[in-house]
Amino acid sequence: MRPTQGRLSWLVLLALGAAPAARAIEPIPSTPGWRGFVVLGAGYANLESNTVAGTNVFDIGRPTINSVAEGPRSDDSAFPVVTGEVNYTFRGGWQAFFGTSLEDAVTLDGVTQIGARKDLGSSGILQGGLLFVGVPTQVWEDPYAEGVRRKETDRDATGVRLRWDRVAGSPLELTVSWRDVSIDTERSGEGVVSVACDADCQRLLRRDGDQYHFDAAYLFVLDQAGRHLLRPRVRYTIDDRDGDAISADAWRLQVSYVFRSQAFSVASNIAYGSSRYDARNPIFDARTDADGIVLDSTLFYRLPFQSGRWQAVGSVLWGRSDADVAFHDNELFMVTLGTMYRFGSQALPAAQGD
């Protein structure tokens, strides 16, 4: 998911980037065949944000603001969770895949991938994929429009992700991704009445552009049985948008802890991040820099039938972002519940390990 991406609230980007999976790319099976998983469920989100409108499946966010001087008001919504991945393993360590990875699915990141993985033996696993949005995100045409009902518009993103896991046989994982962000109807600044915003002002607020992520993570196995895992991760993001007031550099530090057994696994994360924008937002005559924190925990419980192919999945997430401008403060609380089914031969590696 990122089900609620918009300008996007930097908090939502941070929260939904907090991946609750320490195992990263799963091992490629030695035997050819079809495999995959599907997740079905539902979620509830309570969000305080002035910039988010939801998706084509559900709405969240207040359509009307009285003034850009005000902080966000809360809104809530229930939403469905339907996602999964199907892959086919070839001989020689190749695997083609389509869908949403388990890491992205649990975080409700709406990104879908089509690509391939290659087991390089002692050199690790290399993965490349094309990214696109399965369910379009919706944002406001003009998030700053005062005293009127704001109109929704689609936010789309396509790109490429390259990942190298178990680099040279080590516990290191490196990821690089690029996305082309496109707003269907961009009218930022046209509807603000309390502040003068001419054509030059509106150009500073354009949200179209490129987004780059650079990730490095390292997996620590804390016991001989491999039941306790710790994975610190650092991410550096470059948002190169058409508007300088929307362009930013950001970083995030995250620590993931996983306990796993034959019956269940629990994954918890804490993430802290900061973003710094290239120029002042002309609506507020200030940069909308922000700092935020996210906490989340996810439980996978193996159900006692069909050899454990079915699992119950539950997740709780809370995050808050404090910006230098109150209009761009954000807070998110989210709960999701569902079931996951793994299909195909050798669908469940021992203890779901690496």
Residue 342 is part of a domain; what is its CATH number? 2.40.160.40
Average pLDDT over residues 233-260: 94
Beta bridge partners of 172: 218
| pLDDT band, residue 281 (cuts 50/70/90) | very high
pLDDT on residue 102: 62
Q: Which one-letter DSSP state was computed for residue 222?
A: -
19 touches 2 (CB < 8 A) = no
Domain that holds residue 283: 10-352
* 114-158 residue pLDDT tens: 999 999 999 999 999 999 887 777 889 999 999 999 999 988 889
Instruction: Tell me, yes or no, whether 4 lies in a domain.
Output: no
Determine how many CB atoms are found less than 10 A away from the CB of residue 208: 15
CA 38 to chain centre: 18
135 touches 97 (CB < 8 A) = no
Three-class DSSP category at 127: strand
* 64-75 residue pLDDT tens: 999 999 999 999
**What's the pTM?**
0.85
* 220-245 residue pLDDT tens: 999 998 899 999 999 999 999 999 99
Average pLDDT over residues 80-105: 83
Torsion 42-46-47-52 (CA) sign: positive
Q: Which one-letter DSSP state was computed for residue 69?
A: T
Determine how many CB atoms are found less than 10 A away from the CB of residue 177: 18
Instruction: Tell me, yes or no, whether 1 lies in a domain.
Output: no
| pLDDT band, residue 196 (cuts 50/70/90) | very high
174 touches 163 (CB < 8 A) = yes
% of the chain beyond a pLDDT of 70: 87
pLDDT on residue 110: 58
Instruction: Tell me, yes or no, whether 106 lies in a domain.
Output: yes
* 21-30, 95-104, 188-197, 339-348, range with greatest mean pLDDT: 188-197
Q: For the chain, how many structural domains are there in total?
A: 1
Q: What value does the mean pLDDT of the chain take?
A: 85
193 touches 146 (CB < 8 A) = yes
Instruction: Tell me, yes or no, whether 279 lies in a domain.
Output: yes
Instruction: Tell me, yes or no, whether 3 lies in a domain.
Output: no
From CA 74, how far away is CA 141, in angstroms rounded?
A: 20
From CA 114, how far away is CA 83, in angstroms rounded?
A: 14
From CA 274, how far away is CA 263, in angstroms rounded?
A: 37
pLDDT on residue 82: 82
Q: Which one-letter DSSP state was computed for residue 59?
A: B
CA 42 to chain centre: 17
Least confident of 3-17, 80-94, 319-333: 3-17
Residues in CB range of 34: below 8 A, 6 or more apart: 86, 87, 88, 343, 344
